[in-house]
Amino acid sequence: MDIETRAAQPYAAVKATVTHETFAKIADRFPEIMHWLADRELPVAGAPFLRYLRVAGEEFEVEAGIPTIAEVPAAGEVYTATLPGGRYAVEVHEGHPDGLSAVADRILADDSLTFDRAGERWGARLETFFTDPAVERDPAKWTTEVAIRLAN
């Protein structure tokens, strides 16, 4: 695990409340966001991510987001916001996405860190997907980063 300092980052997103069984309801919406950005000629500024806004047992409030260069007025279900800058605990995972919760658990188990959270709500808890599943079909070869913002 590394500690990184990151700048604030604008992004375009959609949001949904999901469970493990209904996770595709949010995870499959990246193409919709890409089209929205293309229609507005907003360049993509990084890899797509999931941002966990609220984790309440088996229910998650999650954004599917794509970094961009600026916030713009919302249209429909797609909106823009900004990831907060600050210090993040970061670990890269090589392999199937099923292993991501174990990575997050490992980061969260570090008693020397205080995370940006208030109860079930998280300041910035991210999974960033560096591998395009359309290019690399084998999930065992995917690279994903888990980053969780630390409290100031």
**Number of residues written out for the chain:** 152
Q: What is the DSSP letter of 44?
A: B
Amino acid at residue number 68: T
User: How does pLDDT run across 68-118, given as a tens digit for each residue?
Assistant: 998 888 778 999 999 999 999 999 999 988 888 899 999 999 999 999 999
Q: pTM for the full model?
A: 0.93
Which pLDDT band holds residue 143 (cuts at 50, 70, 90)?
A: very high
Amino acid at residue number 141: K
Q: Which residues pair with 17 in a beta bridge?
A: 61
